[in-house]
Amino acid sequence: MDKLKLSEWGERLKTGGAQMSRLVSDKVKEILQTPTPESKMVDEATLETMEEPNWGLNLRVCSMINSQEFSGTEIVKAIKRKISGRNVVSQRLSLDLLETCTSNCEKVFSEVASEKVLDEMVRMIENPQTDQGNRDRALQLIRAWGESEDLEYLPVFHQTYMSLKERSLPPPPVEDGSSFPAQYSLESYVHQEPSSPLGSYPIPDTGLHGADRSTISYDFGGLSIEEKNETLVTTRNSLELLSSILNAETEPKPIKEDLTVSLLDKCKQSQSVIQRIIESTTDDEAMLFEALNLHDELQQVILRYNELEADPPTGAAQVEPHNETRIADPPTGAAQVGPHNETKIEDPTREGPARLGPHNETKTGDPQKAEGAELSSERKIDEREFSS
């Protein structure tokens, strides 16, 4: 019994130590990271002194993402950092901003999936110190995304939702002293209908939606160790997301969807970057091993996409020959039905009396032979009368 307890305590210490190390690493990286225009805008939209969301500013962020003035990836990263924070107001405003961006920007859902924002939201939900209103807000978003048929091409949303439904969540704060069960499910928290984050907020027509969305090139020269690690993680996320789409059971594969094409472009762009990391890494075997594996997997997923793109649709090929056969067959069909109730005239040269064929057919024999038969019968009648 004592050994079992010691083992449990050891596992808790390991888990707690890993979480603390991750939190410290994230905080240090956040402090040392140079603010970007995207992070500054997110900071402004999630100020802890604000009582309500600044919808005008949120919609402006969406417009700048659509016009490619802002990087959707950087916006999502900044929102993720706000979600992982401990300020109640900033956390709530970041969830509102996230919902606005996913509702009005085409490719933000892929960024949310690749940057593992859902994992951060789940950690926030499972944290007993999280504000109950923020927990409910995050649960509403995850449920709406998980139940949406429009996001079936991104399995991570449905998987996260189903996984969260099966987990036990920390009990909500009790104010009246009443007792509650020890475990709670997702449905125990959220009783109202899920919000509809897939709808669109009324963004003013600024003409930015029609902007050219050509691929943006980045300079990856002179990467530091931290930047290399971040590049490997980002590439891995995009690779896994594209693989899940291509290997999903849904038919037909959404290979022409904007998201799939965007992920494919990211993977192709990452090939040269990963190659550069391989060439420049000499003293870190773990990073080199990861980069080599990632390079091979990128080639495989790109090859998989090319194979799916080259395969013709099988449904149409199976139906067309069948239709052609039916169109060519009507004369044959008529010939098969025709023998019933037909009137046939036999060849006059054939010998023998006239016969009635099967299937109610009326056949007429040789007219000369029929006339001869009638004369013969008349002669027989005359002979009988004469003899009598």
- Provide the H-helix boundaries in 105-154: 108-114, 117-126, 132-147
Residue 186 — very low, low, confident or very high, per pLDDT cuts 50/70/90?
A: low
DSSP per residue over 175-211, as a string?
SS-----S-B-HHHH--SPPP-TTS-------S-TTS
Backbone angles phi, psi at 368, to 5 degrees: -65, -40
Domains within the chain, CATH numbers bracketed: 34-172+183-189 (1.25.40.90), 225-310 (1.20.58.160)
**Opening angle at CA 260, ends 118 and 94, nearest 5:** 30
105 C-beta neighbours (distance < 10 Å), count:
22
CB 117 within 8 A of CB 80: yes
Mean pLDDT calculated for residue range 109-136 = 90
Q: Is the pLDDT of residue 79 over 90?
A: yes
- Least confident among 70-74, 139-143, 274-278: 274-278
**3-state SS assignment for residue 184:** strand
Helix, strand, coil share (%) of the chain residues, nearest 5: 65, 0, 35
pLDDT of residue 142: 92
Whether the predicted model's global pTM rises above the 0.85 cut = no
Q: Is the pLDDT of residue 293 over 80?
A: yes
pLDDT digits (tens, 9 = 90+) for 207-260: 333 333 333 333 444 567 887 888 888 888 888 888 888 888 778 878 888 788
pLDDT of residue 120: 92
pLDDT digits (tens, 9 = 90+) for 49-75: 888 888 888 888 998 998 888 999 999
Distance CA 108, CA 75 (A): 9
Residue 80 — very low, low, confident or very high, per pLDDT cuts 50/70/90?
A: very high
**3-state SS assignment for residue 362:** strand
